[in-house]
Chains A and B, each alone.
Chain A
Amino acid sequence: MSDSRVATAGEGRVSSLPIRAEDDLLAARHAVRAATLEAGFGLVAQTKLVTAASELVRNCYVHGGGGKLVIEHLVPPPRAGLRLTISDQGPGIGDLEAALTDGYSTGAGLGHGLGGARRLVDEFHLDTSPERGTTVVITRWVN
C-alpha cells in the first residue's frame, strides 16, 4: 500500500527552462500555465501561480543575471500540486527582510514581487547568498 505511493512520488515529471532575458518571461508564463492546466488547477489558482512565477522569473533576470526555471509535477495522491524552482547565480539578496516587505524594490515593479509571490502560493522557500546566488522554491497544491 504505502510503498506504491512512495514509488509514484518519485515519478513527478520535471521540465526545465532557461531564463536569460526578458524574452524568456512569456515562455516561462506559458509553460507554467500549461502545467497548471495539466495538473487540474482551477482558474484562480492558475492565475495566482502564473503571476507568482512571473514575478520570480523577472527577478531572476533583472537582479540575478539569469538562471533557470524548473517545473515539477507533484503527483502522489491525495495531494497533487506543482513545484517551481527559480534559481540564479547572481549576487544574492542583501537585505532579505526588507525584500520580502512590500514596497521594497531595488529594480522595476512596485516592490511587491517577492512578498507578493509568497502570498500567492502555499509554500515558499528562499535561499540566498553572495556565493550561491538566489533560489526560490514555490509550491501550490491543487485545491
Chain B
Amino acid sequence: MLGERQRAREEIARVVGAHRERIVAAWIVAQEGGAATAGAVGGEELREDAETLVSCLLEALTSPVPVEGLVARSAPLKSAVTGLSHRWARIGVSATAIARAVFSLKDSCAAILAEETPDLELRLDATELLCRIFDDAALLTFQSYVDGREEIIQRQNRQLLEISTPVVRLWRGVLAVPLIGTLDSGRAQIVMESLLKGIQEHEAAVAIIDITGVPTVDTAVAQHLMQTVAATRLMGADCILSGIRPQIAQMIARLGIDLSEIITRSSLADALTAAMRMVDDLRPAEEARSESALIP
C-alpha cells in the first residue's frame, strides 16, 4: 500500500517534471478562457503564478515531507498557494474563481498523466493522489481568502473605533470628546483611554464628555463614564459631563452614583463656558502674565 503510494508520488513528480512547460501553457489557456479570472490577472502574471505553483509542487513531491497533508506541511507549496490567493483576492478575484483556477491546474496535470502513464493501475493511483493534493490546495486558498477578509474586517473595526472617538481641543486647556451612537463597553474603554492620554499630552485642566448623541447606556458603560471621571481627577484635571438625556440620567440615578461630585451641564456650549471659567482660575500665573505683555 505504502509502496503504491510512493510509486504514484514518484510518477506524478516524473510526469509533471518532464512536461511542466505543457502544463503551464494548458493552464494559461484555460485561465484566459475562464470568465472569472480573465482580464483581472495579466498574461505575464498568470505564467509566473503557474510556474511558481508547478515548481513548488515538484519540490514538495520530491521532498521527504509525507504525502498526508503535503500542502500544509510543505512550506514553499503552502506559501505559493496562500500567496496566490492573497494576490488574486486583492485584485477582486472571487474565492470560487481562485479555487477553480487551482482545480484547473489539476486538470492540466491529469491530462498529461493520461497521455504519459501507460500503466493503467499506476495512472489511477497517481490521479487519485493528484486529486487529493489539489483538493487540499483549493481548500487552503479558501481558508487564506477568509483569513485575509477577517484581517481587513478587524483593521477596519479598529479604524472605525478610532474615528468614532475623536478627542478635540476646544480651548487652551480644554479637551472634549463628543460621543455619537451607541456606546458599548469596548468603545467606552477606548474613549476613556484616549481622553486621559489627551489630558496628559495637552496638560488639559478640563475635559468635557458630551453624550448628547448617545441614545442610551447600559450599566457597564455608565460605570466606565464614572471611572473616567475618577481617573481624570486623579490626574489633576476636572471632568464635565454634558448632554445627559433623561433616560441616561435615570440609569445613573438607579446605579446609586453620587452625582454631586460630578460637574454636569445640559449642553456642550454650557460645558465649554464653565470649562473656560475653570481654566482661567487655574492658569499658571506665568502664562497669564506673558499673554498680557507684548514683550515676554
A3 on the B face (CB < 8 A): yes
In the complex, chain B residues whose CB is within 8 Å of the CB of A3:
69, 72
Chain B residue, CB-CB nearest to A44: B193
Number of interface residues of B (CB under 8 A): 5
Chain A residue, CB-CB nearest to B150: A78
Contact B72–A4 (Cβ < 8 Å): yes
- B102 CB to nearest A CB, Å: 16
- A36 CB to nearest B CB, Å: 16
B143 on the A face (CB < 8 A): yes
CA distance A3 to B193 in the complex (A): 38
B140 on the A face (CB < 8 A): yes
Contact A1–B72 (Cβ < 8 Å): yes
Contact A1–B140 (Cβ < 8 Å): yes
In the complex, chain A residues whose CB is within 8 Å of the CB of B140:
1
Interface residues of A (CB under 8 A from B): 1, 3-4, 44
Contact A1–B143 (Cβ < 8 Å): yes
In the complex, chain B residues whose CB is within 8 Å of the CB of A44:
193
Chain A residue, CB-CB nearest to B196: A44
- B198 CB to nearest A CB, Å: 14
In the complex, chain A residues whose CB is within 8 Å of the CB of B69:
3
- A41 CB to nearest B CB, Å: 13
In the complex, chain A residues whose CB is within 8 Å of the CB of B143:
1
* 5 A-B contacts (beta carbon < 8 Å): A1-B140, A1-B143, A3-B69, A3-B72, A44-B193
- B126 CB to nearest A CB, Å: 25
CA distance A44 to B227 in the complex (A): 14
CA distance A44 to B228 in the complex (A): 14
In the complex, chain B residues whose CB is within 8 Å of the CB of A4:
72
CA distance A87 to B143 in the complex (A): 41
CA distance A3 to B73 in the complex (A): 10
CA distance A77 to B275 in the complex (A): 46
Encoded as 1 (CB less than 8 Å from any A CB) or 0, chain B from 221 to 250 comes to 000000000000000000000000000000
CA distance A4 to B193 in the complex (A): 36
CA distance A44 to B189 in the complex (A): 11
In the complex, chain A residues whose CB is within 8 Å of the CB of B193:
44
Chain B residue, CB-CB nearest to A77: B147
